[in-house]
Amino acid sequence: MAQLAASQVAVTVPVGSDLSTRRSVFKTHSISFHDKSWAPSLSLDLKTKNAWLRNRHIICQSVQQASVPKVNVSPLNLEDAKEPPLNIHKPKEPYTATIVSVERIVGPKAPGETCHIVIDHGGNVPYWEGQSYGIIPPGENPKKPGSPHNVRLYSIASTRYGDTFDGKTASFCVRRAVYYDPETGKEDPSKNGVCSNFLCNSKPGDKVRVTGPSGKIMLLPEDNPNATHIMIATGTGIAPYRGYLRRMFMESVPTFKFNGLAWLFLGVANSDSLLYDDEFKKYLKDYPDNFRYDLALSREQKSKSGGKMYVQDKIEEYSDEIFKMLDTGAHIYFCGLKGMMPGIQETLKKVADQRGENWEEKLSQLKKNKQWHVEVY
Ligand code: FAD
């Protein structure tokens, strides 16, 4: 590896990008909707950027490799705090943020729509990775005339620095809630989800009322930079992990030098439904010893028993490794739709039985040790 220090970015150039030895296998695919927000040039002024590009060219010539950019972030005061910020803005006094961008991030064959949304909070609603914001959609609550809508929670999908690396934005991964009449199979827009549609339809410059931040369950424990983190997501449950992974692999944070293992399991319908896949593939290439990435594509892959491939089937495939990791202190996280948990719990119990272990006891120990983190909705 060769390293180049620029005034604002640290650039590492890896040798050997052959992914054929990768432990995790997934189908290649192409999606035309990319989130390029991680591009390091975002934090550079033009002069620095040009110098960096020139230098990068020289380095690439000498080692014939792509660069591995880590973005230097200016530590926010938040790095020194012992506790995460909580409920700075309550529903009665929400903060009015501004929409920066709304981007559809799934391909045409994905069932449903998922958007990556960046909002500008001006540094007024600071948060830690794994927390959520509340959003109050505009309009009146139909159940309480004269009152605003109830708050809807959304996991934050960026690090505390935001996709802009300046601590002034937060990102969300929002799935548009659409209602189909079970009898006719036709969409009924009058019953579509209020907040998710408001967010996915919004335009840059629109105002959005936010509350929070909230949540402590999904915070990333940083006391041991060599720890193992097993992250299990279905759909938009990927949001907190995108934040963790950017903190681990994309940002150069002086107070957190991750050198452990992050293992991501993502369950979605098909390859067009993959979320932030470009970012994750880049980490695989750049940090093959620190990142693993496994996919369960329910409509494209078959499980061992010949059924649809769900995330619990992938967990079962690697259960020996996962159990060993848990026994040596790994953290395990679950995020996404509520419906994911029963199947996963069943699989974990089955594996424990096969290993002659008592799952209930193991689970209560994991909870006691604060290794078990669940946020499903
Ligand atoms: P609502 O208006 O609340 O409607 C809910 C559902 O009911 C919709 O599916 C709607 O189509 C249906 N519906 C509406 N009217 C009728 C009717 N008359 N008859 C039958 N059905 C009807 N979501 C994400 O997308 N991304 C996240 O990262 C995320 N993180 C979350 C984190 C937490 C901690 C929690 C608790 C939830 C999270 N959610 C997330 C879910 C989110 O809070 C909302 O619940 C979701 O977006 C739906 O809200 P909505 O206002 O669009 O739908």
CA distances from 209 to 84, 100, 120, 157, 177 (A): 21, 14, 11, 18, 19
According to DSSP, the residues that pair with 266 across neighbouring strands are 233, 295
Question: What is the distance in A from the centroid of ligand 1 to the CA of 177?
Answer: 6
Q: 74 among the known binding-site residues?
A: no
Nearest CA to ligand 1 atom 36: 377
Compute the chain's Rg from CA coordinates: 21
Check the annotation: does 67 bind a ligand. no
Are β-strands 291-297 and 261-268 bridged in parallel, bridged antiparallel, or unpaired? parallel
Q: Is 205 annotated as a binding residue?
A: no
CA-based max dimension of the chain: 68
pLDDT along the chain (377 residues), means of 10: 33 30 31 36 36 36 51 89 96 98 98 98 98 98 95 98 97 98 94 98 98 98 97 98 98 94 98 98 97 98 95 96 98 97 96 97 98 98
309 phi and psi, to 5 degrees?
-85, 110
Burial grade of 29 (CB within 10 A; 0-12, 13-18, 19 or more): middle
Protein residue with least CA distance to atom 6, ligand 1: 193
> Token pair for residue 83?
């506790």
Dihedral angle at the C-alpha atoms of 286, 312, 115, 270, nearest 10 degrees?
Answer: 90
- The finding on whether 179 has its CB within 6 A of some atom of ligand 1 is yes
From the list 246, 230, 212, the residue with the least C-alpha distance to 116 is 246
**Atom of ligand 1 lying closest to residue 195 CA:** 51
| Best CA proximity match to 165, nearest among 257, 262, 54, 75 | 75
Q: What is the pLDDT of residue 74?
A: 86
CA distances from 266 to 188, 261, 287, 309, 334 (A): 30, 16, 18, 11, 10
For residue 341, report the distance from its CA to the centre of ligand 1, in Å.
Answer: 18
343 annotated as belonging to a binding site for a ligand: no
Quickly list DSSP for 236-293.
GGGHHHHHHHIIIIIEEBTTB---SEEEEEEEESSGGG--SHHHHHHHHHH-TTTEEE
310 belongs to the catalytic site: no
What pLDDT is attached to residue 62? 33
In this structure, which residue's CA is closest to atom 19 in ligand 1? 191
Helix (H, G, I), strand (E, B) or coil at 177: coil
Distance from Cα 141 to the centre of ligand 1, integer Å:
14
**pLDDT in the model for residue 67:** 52
- Closest listed residue to residue 230, CA positions, set 338, 327, 349: 327
Sign of CA dihedral 209, 212, 218, 223: positive
Would you state the structure tokens that stand for residue 75, as one six-digit string?
């530590």
